[in-house]
Structure 1
């Protein structure tokens, strides 16, 4: 699949289960091991539940962006939260594990950044588990840098499972958008 054949959209309440399945497949369990974004060696839980996805879709200022193939298959998604006077927040980023080297993630991230810039955000922030140096490096190649802030990992919020390590924490990464949709890509 070529990257120019993706269709971007915004998830609706009817798509909660489809988004949930994609996110879980990209991060947890054996299916996630087909890609490089798996966290299965760090966490043995379900990542998020249906009410959590529904909240991200329905909360004002928050949206779940989707990437679909021409035949309608959901192959990527992310959360984008816009707040006046604050950096946009990018999270819940997932690409189908069997399609993670097809530039889908790169293109979806650029789409989210363009939407954030268009809404007036001057930066995009995200959190990444600090042990995930491969993911942090991927974001660095796209202009994201650690802010120096480290946030505690929400062990009490795991969904139907447990952490496999007790030293998890989040690094906060930020990319300035320089007031344009291009943002230094």
Structure 2
């Protein structure tokens, strides 16, 4: 396998459509089943809409980061993305993490996660990063634990009322919160 050659940059409103396509393909629907991060068997919706994604891109205390493959030299061909949100002077939130399902399990996720952690540390001076993962996603939680995150006792309710164009396929969903010292 050729080495990964990615560039990371902060998303702009012009990136809305490719990010939306990427996120939906990684989390939901038939295409998501090609990767290992799919939630299609537990939630049948669109994950996020244009308005919600644009709010994240324009958030003054946040950033949506996008990654593209330098070897293909196509900055508009986004292969991964994530969201960062500065919650306090020391704590940030990491979410909306998506890697193209056809490119998963090749190191892109590790690279983007490390870049996001560095961005949070160097841009905002954050000392901790937290995230929320649906409790049924044991394999994904284990992946984050291998990257230094700790599963906390904290739980967050699943936003059943905020699903975009669909429904949850289970009624027992909630998020576990993971945290990592930066």
1:74-153 correspondence runs (5 A): 74-118=78-122, 119-153=124-158
CA distance in structure 1 between the aligned counterparts of 2:135 and 2:24, rounded to whole angstroms:
20
- How far apart in 2 are the matches of 1:156 and 1:3? 42
Matching residue of 2:38: 38
Listed one character per residue, the Cα deviations across residues 87-122 of structure 1 (whole Å, up to 9, x for unaligned) are: 110000000000001100100000000111112111
**Cα distance in 2 between the residues matched to 1:95 and 1:3:** 17
Residue aligned with 1:36, SS = coil
Distance 2:41 2:52 in 1: 23
Structure 1: gaps spanning 5 or more residues: 178-185
Task: Give per-residue Cα distances to partners, 1:31-88, cap 9 Å, x unaligned.
Answer: 0000000000000000000111100000111110011012222100000112332411
C-alpha separation between the residues in 2 aligned to 1:46 and 1:124?
26
Question: How many residues are treated as equivalent by the alignment?
Answer: 177
Scaled by the length of structure 1, what TM-score is found?
0.93
CA RMSD, Structure 1 to Structure 2 (Å): 1.1
Gaps in structure 2 of 5+ consecutive residues: none
Alignment of 1:50-61 (within 5 A): 50-61=50-61
2:4–2:108 CA contact under 8 A, matched in 1: no
Q: Which residue of 1 is the match for residue 14 of structure 2?
A: 14
Asked if the contact 1:3–1:104 (Cα under 8 Å) also holds between the matched residues in 2, the reply is: no
What is the TM-score normalised by the length of structure 2? Answer: 0.94
Name the structure 2 match of 1:182.
Answer: none
